[in-house]
Amino acid sequence: MLDRIIDPQACPLDDPAFIADCRRHLDEAGVVTIPGFLRQRAVADLVAEAESAAPEAFFTSSTHNVYLTPPDPALPADHVFNRQITSSKGCITTDQVPAGSGLHAIYDSATFRAFIAAIVGETALHEYADPLSSINVHYAAAGQELGWHFDNSSFAVTLLLQAPESGGEFQYVRDLRDADSNDLNFAGVEAVLDGERTPDILEVVPGTLVLFRGRNSMHRVTPTIGRRTRILVVLAYNTEPGIALSQAARMTFYGRLG
């Protein structure tokens, strides 16, 4: 069944050598891309599905610092910790993805979960306890972007469904901070924000699976240019069962709790 959506030639989910390769690559580069993960037919179906759900998307435009924390009033407003960055996008949630969608089939698949878990070095992965946060489809129309940030989660799984005509580029700077030792690296972050340090660019075409460690690697998606909306799926897992996304985060990202 899953073979109709995921191409086993591009991504043999239960091949130990392939898993070991992906794992090594993630450890060395901080990111793994698997082009051709989705069959072309599946990409077309999922784009059509995402386009029909787009009117239901919740749109947000917000400002945040790169650490995704509240500002620190003890520091000057123009300090890098307090620098405000803009993000704007539309989003639909797990419960808005049609029941028969390939996205549920992928997300729920025990084989796929075991594949991701093995690559990121976890024993098991679990869905969110709330009905919104497990599968999100992001829409970035012309001018919309995701500003520079570090993720709170240790890894992210995404699937690009549709690339814009131009822009919508995923840029990143590896290991710019060390969250575990609380090293925020203000100078390094400032150099990137001021354009003094050139980020790496991740080449991603539609149908590619991306596994990214974004907790210490600062990243952004540049503004979409042109009339074609960038459409990206985020598959989010927890390493413990029964965990919901915080109410504050749900209100910010989705405008509702359930």
Q: Which residues bind Fe ion (CB under 5 A)?
A: 151, 214
Site membership for ligand AKG, residue 234 (CB under 6 A): yes
Q: Smallest distance, Å, CB 234 to ligand AKG?
A: 5
CA-closest candidate to residue 23, choices 168, 213, 178: 213
Distance between start and end Cα atoms, the chain? 30
Catalogue the E-assigned strands of the chain: 31-34, 58-64, 85-92, 135-140, 146-149, 156-162, 166-167, 170-173, 200-202, 209-212, 218-221, 224-225, 230-235
Site membership for ligand AKG, residue 158 (CB under 6 A): yes
Query: Which token pair is 258?
Result: 């359930």
Binding residue for ligand AKG, selected from 151, 184, 191, 244, defined by CB under 6 A = 151
Site membership for ligand AKG, residue 146 (CB under 6 A): yes
Using the rule CB under 6 A, give the single segment among 27-35, 98-106, 213-221, 245-253 that binds ligand AKG: 213-221
> Of 112 and 170, which CB lies nearer to ligand AKG in the complex structure?
170
Listed in sequence order, the residues at least 6 apart from 252 whose beta carbon sits closer than 8 Å to its beta carbon are 60, 62
Site membership for ligand AKG, residue 34 (CB under 6 A): no
Which of ligand AKG, Fe ion, none interacts with 158 (beta carbon under 5 to 8 A by kind)?
A: ligand AKG
Site membership for ligand AKG, residue 211 (CB under 6 A): no
Site membership for ligand AKG, residue 219 (CB under 6 A): yes
Site membership for ligand AKG, residue 249 (CB under 6 A): no
Q: Smallest distance, Å, CB 138 to ligand AKG?
A: 6
b/e per residue, 11-32, with b = 16+ CB within 10 A? bebeeeebbeebbebbeeebbb
Q: Which of residues 111-130 bind ligand AKG (CB under 6 A)?
A: none
Please name every residue paired with 178 in a beta bridge, in sequence order, or none if there are none: 183
In which residue are the tokens 């998307």 written?
57
Work out the number of other CB atoms within 10 angstroms of the CB of residue 41.
10
> Of 214 and 223, which CB lies nearer to ligand AKG in the complex structure?
214
Residues that bind ligand AKG (CB under 6 A): 138, 146, 151, 156, 158, 170, 214, 219, 221, 232, 234
